[in-house]
Homo-oligomer: A and B are copies of this chain.
Amino acid sequence: MERLLTIKDIAIELGISISTVSRALRGQPDVNAETRKAVVDLAEKLDYQPNKAALSLLNKHTNTIGVLVPNLDYFFATAIKGIDEAALEAGYTVMVCQSNESYGKELINTKRLLESRVDGFIISVSSDTKIVDHFKKIQDKGIPMVFFDRDVNELQAPKILLNNFEGGYIATKHLINKGYSKIAFLGGPERMSISNQRFEGYKSALKEAGIKFNVKFVEHGDFNQEYAYVNTNELLRAKQKPDAIFAMSDRLAIGAMQSIKKHGLRIPDDIGLIGFNNEPITNLLSPSISTIDQPAFEMGKTAARLFIEMMNNDSTASSDNIVLKPKLIVRESTMRK
């Protein structure tokens, strides 16, 4: 590694002291106008950049936010854009790590970010994560963190969440309004909070409509569309077939759609289908898939803003959750004539 330019070099070049260069560069008083100009000009000319490591060592903070996400799919990519924007405004740099929905990878990533001495964390936990000691440990050290999208009950920390209950509710209610009554639920991993909250909303809508909840219409599985595909196959092979499917994510909805098509059933006439996330693809498929929109960009931006606010106020936990509203997007897959 080359030796990069330091204020010492500038000091020597100009025949003045390091302290003076430092003061001049930071616009402090106690420095002569001419001297200041000479320093600033030279720094400009030589493209001087302060060494962040030295600053970090001194100030005990890095101006860096560690962002931990399960993956970089449409939702998280959009959320990260939001985080990025807010962080940049406030002079923070962002370090993104993806866990690939794996607890082990999440552990490694938190450790690395901690070693990098990030000032704090913005986290969406992996679906695989059951123990959250690694996050508690961070909290114990007094390092601020905010969670988004995926809830962690065990942790007392600010959270930016979607009202998933409401999302599940309006999705299911929409299906009911369209005349569907045998509505199946395609869920994510069993323990996953967002899946379960949407599930509760689903049950609530059923109950409200006087439709008896049927356990046989509920499937759980992994996050990818292959699982959704086989789970839907099972649903459609059963004696009691559903006439609509509410999938807790668009990925799963797509898997379900493939299965439905394979069974020679028509959407939305034979089977209604609604997803969750409003990924752009749902609008391009044929039929286009109804879904629940969640404000990913806003979520990321809010999370980052909240984080920055915490940093400024030096308060480790404001602990009041921010809950955003889901929005129903009606497309062809639920438009039964």
- Give A residues with C-beta under 8 Å from B: 1-4, 47, 49-54, 56-57, 60-62, 64, 71-73, 77, 80-81, 84, 88, 93-98, 100, 108, 111-112, 114-117, 119, 137, 141-143, 254, 258, 281, 284-286
Contacts and interface: CB of A to CB of B under 8 A. Distances in A.
6 contacts: A2-B143, A4-B60, A50-B115, A73-B77, A77-B77, A93-B116
B50 A53 contact: no
A93 B108 CA distance: 11
A268 to B, nearest CB: 15
Nearest to A5: B141
A285 B261 CA distance: 13
Given A53-B54, A57-B57, A281-B281, 19 more contacts: A4-B60, A4-B141, A49-B111, A49-B114, A52-B53, A52-B116, A53-B53, A53-B56, A64-B116, A71-B77, A72-B80, A77-B77, A81-B98, A93-B116, A95-B95, A96-B96, A254-B284, A281-B284, A284-B285
Nearest to A58: B53
A1 B60 contact: yes
A143 to B, nearest CB: 8
A85 to B, nearest CB: 10
Count of chain copies: 2
Contacts of A64: 116
Contacts of A108: 88
A112 B65 CA distance: 14
Nearest to A316: B2
B47 A53 contact: no
Nearest to A61: B1
A226 to B, nearest CB: 12
Contacts of A50: 115
Given A53-B57, A95-B95, A119 B1 contact: yes
Contacts of A2: 141-143
